C-alpha cells in the first residue's frame, strides 16, 4: 500500500504525490482501522476519517501494482505456505481467479462447490460453483487485477459488499483454479456485520437487510448477456442462494418483531423482501 492523500470522491484520479511501484506479481490489500505505522516493507495509505471497508479496499486497489490482488481482512490470519502455494498455481496455470479454502473454529470449509485441483476455463461452472457453495467472501479469492478495470468497485456505504461484488468479478473471469486446502483462518467476531445482523435481539436493521436483498439486482440479466452457455444447474444455484437469503431475512424479521409489531406490517415487509430477492434470479421462488 502506498502512502498518500485521497479525495472523498474515489472516481477522481489518485493523488499525483502517490508514487506507483513497479508491477509485482501480488498485492496483499489489508484494510485496517486505528493502527500505528508498521515497518518499511508495508506501504501505508490513510483516509482522514473512517469511511468504511469498501472505501478502504477501493483506495488500495487504485494504487495496487500487483498482477494479482488478494484482499485480506485485518482480523483474519494467513496460514504458513499460502503465498508459496499461490505462486506455484499462478506460475503453472495463470488463471484469472484462484480460490482457497479456510479454517473456522478448527474446521476446514470449502469456498467452492465444483471440481478442485485443476485449471478450468468455464465461466458457467465458476458462477454455479460459487453460488452453490454460498461462500461469497472476497478474502478467499485471488483475482487478476485486470478484471477490476476502472468500473468494478466495492459499494461504499453498503453492507454485504462482497455479495455485491464477487459475482460481477467472476463474470469477467475466463479461467479459474480452486485449491482444496485452507490458506486463511477466519476469526468470528460478535461485532462484525454478520454478527450484528444475526445476533442483535429485538432490533431488525432495515438498511443492512435491504443491502443484502438488493446486492444481486440485475446480476441475472448481466450473466445471460455475457455468458452464452448458462446451464439449468447454475440458474438453480442462483435461485437457491436467493431463496435461502430471503428465508434468513424473514427469520430475522419475525424472531425480532413478531410479538412487537402488527402482523399486517410484518407481512408487507416479508412480501417486499420476497419480491426483491425474486427479482435477482430468473429461477424465482418457483425454482
pLDDT digits (tens, 9 = 90+) for 148-187: 998 999 999 999 999 999 999 999 999 999 999 999 999 8
Q: What is the pLDDT of residue 238?
A: 95
Q: Is residue 2 part of a domain?
A: no
Domain boundary (160, 188, 216) is at: 188
What is the CB-side half-sphere exposure of residue 280 using CA atoms within 13 A? 27
Q: What is the pLDDT of residue 14?
A: 42
Supply the DSSP symbol for 109: E
237-251 pLDDT, tens digit per residue, is 999 999 999 999 999
Angle, CA of 79, 58 and 146, to the nearest 5°:
80
Chain centroid, CA 243 distance in Å: 19
Grid look-up 444475526 returns 198
Our count of domains for the chain comes to 2
Grade residue 1 by pLDDT with cuts at 50, 70 and 90: very low
Q: Is residue 17 part of a domain?
A: no
**Domain of 134: which CATH number?**
3.90.550.10
Q: Is residue 251 part of a domain?
A: yes
Grade residue 23 by pLDDT with cuts at 50, 70 and 90: low
For 146, the domain range is 24-188
In this structure, the answer to whether residues 208 and 176 fall within a common structural domain is no
In this structure, the answer to whether residues 177 and 55 fall within a common structural domain is yes
pLDDT for residue 140 is more than 50: yes
Grade residue 19 by pLDDT with cuts at 50, 70 and 90: very low
3-state DSSP helix/strand/coil % of the chain, to nearest 5: 40, 15, 45
In this structure, the answer to whether residues 123 and 218 fall within a common structural domain is no
Q: What is the pLDDT of residue 15?
A: 43
Q: What pTM was estimated for this model as a whole?
A: 0.84
In this structure, the answer to whether residues 125 and 176 fall within a common structural domain is yes
In this structure, the answer to whether residues 151 and 207 fall within a common structural domain is no
In this structure, the answer to whether residues 80 and 128 fall within a common structural domain is yes
| Across 3-11, average pLDDT | 33
50-85 pLDDT, tens digit per residue, is 667 899 899 899 989 899 999 999 889 999 999 999
Buried b (16+ CB within 10 A) or exposed e, 206-218: eebbbbbbbbbee
In this structure, the answer to whether residues 79 and 166 fall within a common structural domain is yes
Amino acid at each position: 500500500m502506498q502512502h498518500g492523500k485521497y479525495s472523498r470522491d474515489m472516481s477522481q484520479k489518485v493523488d499525483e504525490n502517490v508514487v506507483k511501484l513497479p508491477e509485482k506479481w501480488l498485492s496483499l490489500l489489508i484494510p485496517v482501522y486505528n493502527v500505528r505505522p508498521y515497518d518499511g516493507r508495508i506501504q501505508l495509505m490513510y483516509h482522514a476519517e473512517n469511511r468504511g471497508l469498501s472505501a478502504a479496499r477501493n483506495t488500495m486497489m487504485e494504487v495496487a501494482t500487483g498482477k494479482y490482488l488478494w484482499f485480506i481482512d485485518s482480523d483474519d490470519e494467513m496460514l504458513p505456505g499460502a503465498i508459496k502455494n499461490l505462486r506455484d498455481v499462478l506460475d503453472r496455470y495463470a488463471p484469472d481467479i484462484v480460490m482457497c479454502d479456510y479454517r473456522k473454529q478448527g474446521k476446514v470449509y470449502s469456498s467452492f462447490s465444483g471440481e478442485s485441483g485443476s485449471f478450468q476455463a468455464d465461466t458457467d461452472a465458476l458462477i454455479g460453483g460459487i453460488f452453490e457453495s454460498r461462500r461469497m467472501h472476497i478474502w478467499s479469492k485471488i483475482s487478476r487485477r485486470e478484471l477490476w478495470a476502472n468500473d468494478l468497485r466495492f459499494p461504499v456505504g453498503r453492507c454485504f459488499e462482497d455479495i455485491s461484488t464477487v459475482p460481477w468479478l467472476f463474470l469477467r473471469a475466463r479461467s479459474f483454479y480452486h485449491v482444496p486446502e485452507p490458506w486463511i483462518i477466519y476469526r468470528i467476531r460478535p461485532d462484525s456485520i454478520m454478527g450484528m445482523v444475526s445476533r442483535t435481539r429485538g432490533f431488525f436493521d432495515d438498511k443492512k437487510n435491504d443491502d443484502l436483498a438488493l446486492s444481486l439486482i440485475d446480476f441475472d440479466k448481466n450473466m445471460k448477456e455475457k455468458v452464452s452457455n448458462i446451464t439449468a444447474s447454475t440458474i438453480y444455484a442462483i435461485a437457491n442462494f436467493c431463496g435461502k437469503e430471503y428465508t434468513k431475512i424473514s427469520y430475522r424479521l419475525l424472531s425480532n418483531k413478531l410479538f412487537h409489531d402488527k402482523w399486517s406490517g410484518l407481512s408487507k415487509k416479508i412480501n417486499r423482501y420476497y419480491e426483491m430477492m425474486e427479482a435477482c434470479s430468473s429461477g424465482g421462488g418457483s425454482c
